[in-house]
Structure 1
Amino acid sequence: MGLFDGLMGNATEAKSEKVSDKLADVLMPQENVDLAFKLVRDLIVFTDYRLIIVDKQGVTGKKVEYKSYPYKSISRFSVETSGHFDLDAELKIWVSSAIEPAETLQFRKDRNITQVQKALAMAVLN
């Protein structure tokens, strides 16, 4: 079911050790991956210090954008769960005093959106 969920756009929890290995060049020394979710080809990664969004682009996914948001710069976030007719759940993240969200992530019929929201709340509000 994990592969099918990934293809359908549902976030699945990723193993922290594997994500740490993939992000070895991006992570600071002594920075640990606390929690990670795979969303099709992309990753949402919670570390000790920041939220990292890995956006694989193009047909082959060779081009990769790493977006890094220190927890202290995240000013607010919102989660919209899916409904009967609107099947997409959505996570929006704002930084500093920005009017528009810096990041908008789409999930389809996702059970893990609440886990992502809880992890984000714990990281930002602690």
Structure 2
Amino acid sequence: MGLFDGLMGNASEMSHKEVRKELDHILVPHEDINLAYKLVRDLIVFTELRLIIVDKQGVTGKKIEYKSIPYKSISRFSVETSGHFDLDAELKIWISSGLEPAESLQFRKDGSITEIQQALALAVL
């Protein structure tokens, strides 16, 4: 992923080895990583058991929030592709019977969000 792509918010696929090293303290023993995407500093990781969203905060990125969402608790999700004037694509995820999305992720290109939507559909459905 080039610096410009990262600054523009384009998600790029990461190697499973890299992600395993970064999330070693979060993953349970023998938890396999299926897909991983980097979005500037943040990560979206699909394992065999759950969706992990890593939100690096602050200037240095030392403060990190790890969101772990088991697939069985995802009740629905939506994908909104970008248009001519609205350049952002968006993925929203609802948990159980929540009225508002538990997670809302924005992307600059439709390509990454399409792949992520397909991975989420395979895991949830």
Structure 1: distance between partners of 2:75 and 2:66? 20
Amino acid at match of 1:92: K
Equivalent residue, structure 1, for 2:82 = 82
Amino acid at match of 1:37: Y
**Gaps in structure 1 of 5+ consecutive residues:** none
* SS in structure 2 of the partner of residue 111 of structure 1: helix
Structure 2: distance between partners of 1:34 and 1:20? 11
* SS in structure 2 of the partner of residue 9 of structure 1: coil
- Give runs of aligned pairs for residues 1-126 of structure 1, distance below 5 A: 2-125=2-125
How many aligned positions are there?
A: 125
* SS in structure 1 of the partner of residue 100 of structure 2: coil
Structure 2: distance between partners of 1:95 and 1:4? 33
**Gaps in structure 2 of 5+ consecutive residues:** none
* SS in structure 2 of the partner of residue 60 of structure 1: coil
Moved over 3 A (4+): none
* SS in structure 1 of the partner of residue 111 of structure 2: coil
TM-score in terms of structure 1 length: 0.96
How much has 1:6 moved relative to structure 2?
A: 1.3
Q: Percent identity?
A: 74
